């Protein structure tokens, strides 16, 4: 099939690479989000998908919005058979959905109908799911509600961050997406409507959602830190400034009775109280500084007896 691939971030690149390598399909163009400011200089930078497509000599389309008439006209000229999608980042209007004969097919990083939305992997980690996966489905105008072509499963490891899990799903999912294109092309793959039961939503996790609640059990705080890594990053307040929480571990063996948020420092570690048992802060990032070990941060700020996080 003639394919137009839509995607933007680094997590979409493995799928693009797999489709380019396929001997059954041709990626004739790529759709991605416009260049965005990045780095300290805030210079405009092309998306990872755009950079990979340019390296491969593939036409790149960067509409401000997918409903732009110039973009729709060019898509009609290209006349793709199918448009595979991975984390494109914009809603597709009906005018665009109607162009490819075999539709737009999304690789979504959850076992649909669970975790429909922008942040399925983060919500799976936050909820403590033991198993998640990826699904390919035909895009319709509802939120991730279209019929499913294929799925794969992936175990969520106890120490997984969202970044860890998403990386594994991106590479495993690339094979699923190619297999889905193969099955659509030869007519062997049938779409299956999603069940009405079991629908959960996974909206984007904003910075304010990533603030640690020290009155919650340690298990909940641990999930928050891992779910928000690498972005947006879990955080708390210390002496009125934000402290990013990059890594923490359970310290259930600690015998001292720490109130929620209360800090305790030893020569080699710093501990914080939660609603259940203490946690060790392994890596933190003070505001305006580089990441550092929790013990090094604690020595540098000279924590006083009874001081708390979150105050």
State yes or no: 112 annotated in a binding site. Answer: yes
Q: Which residue in 178, 153, 179 sits closest to 17, CA to CA? A: 178
Distance (Å, whole) CA 87 – CA 8: 6
**Site of tokens 């898509």:** 75
230 annotated to a ligand binding site? no
SS3 category, 183: helix
Question: Does the annotation flag 110 for ligand binding?
Answer: yes
Question: Using CA atoms, how far apart are residues 9 and 27, in angstroms rounded to an integer?
Answer: 18
- Classify 26 as helix, strand or coil: strand
Tokens of 221: 């705080």
CA distance 211 to 94: 38
The encoded tokens of residue 286 equal: 């003070």
Cis peptide before 232 (omega within 30 of 0): yes
Residue 144 contacts residue 106 (beta carbons within 8 Å): yes
135: left (phi over 0), alpha (psi -120 to 50) or beta: beta
Residues 27 and 1: their CA atoms lie apart, in Å, by: 8
From the number of C-beta atoms within 10 Å of its C-beta (0-12, 13-18, 19+), residue 45 rates as middle
Instruction: Give CA–CA dist 223/162, Å, rounded.
Output: 10
Phi and psi (nearest 5°) for 147?
-65, 145
286 assigned to a ligand binding site: no
- Binding site for (6S)-5,6,7,8-tetrahydrofolate, by residue number, is 110-113
Residues annotated in a binding site: 110-113
């Amino acid at each position: 099939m003639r394919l137009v691939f839509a995607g933007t971030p680094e997590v979409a690149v493995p799928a693009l690479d797999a489709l380019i390598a396929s001997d059954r399909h041709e990626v004739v163009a790529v759709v991605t989000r416009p260049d965005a400011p990045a780095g300290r200089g805030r210079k405009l930078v092309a998306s990872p998908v755009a950079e990979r497509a340019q390296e491969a000599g593939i036409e790149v389309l960067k509409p401000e919005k997918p409903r732009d008439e110039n973009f729709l006209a060019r898509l009609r000229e290209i006349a793709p058979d199918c448009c595979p999608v991975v984390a494109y980042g914009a809603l597709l209007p009906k005018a665009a959905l109607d162009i490819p004969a075999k539709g737009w097919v999304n690789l979504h990083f959850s076992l649909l109908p669970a975790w429909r939305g922008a942040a399925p992997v983060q919500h799976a980690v936050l909820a403590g799911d033991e198993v998640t996966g990826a699904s390919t489905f035909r895009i319709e105008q509802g939120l991730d509600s279209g019929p499913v072509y294929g799925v794969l499963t992936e175990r969520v490891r106890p120490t997984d961050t969202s970044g860890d899990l998403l990386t594994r799903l991106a590479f495993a999912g690339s094979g699923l997406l190619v297999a889905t294109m193969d099955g659509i092309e030869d007519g062997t793959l049938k779409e299956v409507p999603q069940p009405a039961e079991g629908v959960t939503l996974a909206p984007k996790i904003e910075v304010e959602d990533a603030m640690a609640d020290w009155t919650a059990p340690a298990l909940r705080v641990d999930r928050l830190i891992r779910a928000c890594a690498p972005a947006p990053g879990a955080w708390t307040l210390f002496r009125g400034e934000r402290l990013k929480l990059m890594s923490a571990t359970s310290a259930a063996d600690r015998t001292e009775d720490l109130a929620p948020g209360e800090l305790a420092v030893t020569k080699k570690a710093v501990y914080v109280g939660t609603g259940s048992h203490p946690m060790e802060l392994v890596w933190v990032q003070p505001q305006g500084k580089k990441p550092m070990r929790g013990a090094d941060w604690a020595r540098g700020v000279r924590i006083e007896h009874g001081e708390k996080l979150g105050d």
